[in-house]
Amino acid sequence: MSKAAMLTMGIGFAGQALFFMRFFVQWIHTERRKESVIPEAFWYFSIIGGLFLLVYAVIKRDPVFIVGQSTGTVIYLRNLYFIRKNKRKDVIDALES
Confidence band for 57, pLDDT divided at 50, 70 and 90: very high
pLDDT in tens, 59-93: 999 998 899 888 888 888 999 999 999 989 888 88
> What are the Cα distances from residue 89, in Å, to 26, 37, 41, 82, 95?
24, 21, 20, 10, 10
Amino acid at 23: F
Backbone torsions φ then ψ of 39, nearest 5 degrees: -75, 160
- Mean pLDDT of all residues in 16-40: 88
Element holding 94 (H helix, E strand): helix 63-96
For the chain, domain boundaries: 3-96
**97 has pLDDT over 90:** no
Radius of gyration of the chain (CA): 17
Contact 54, 70 (CB under 8 A): yes
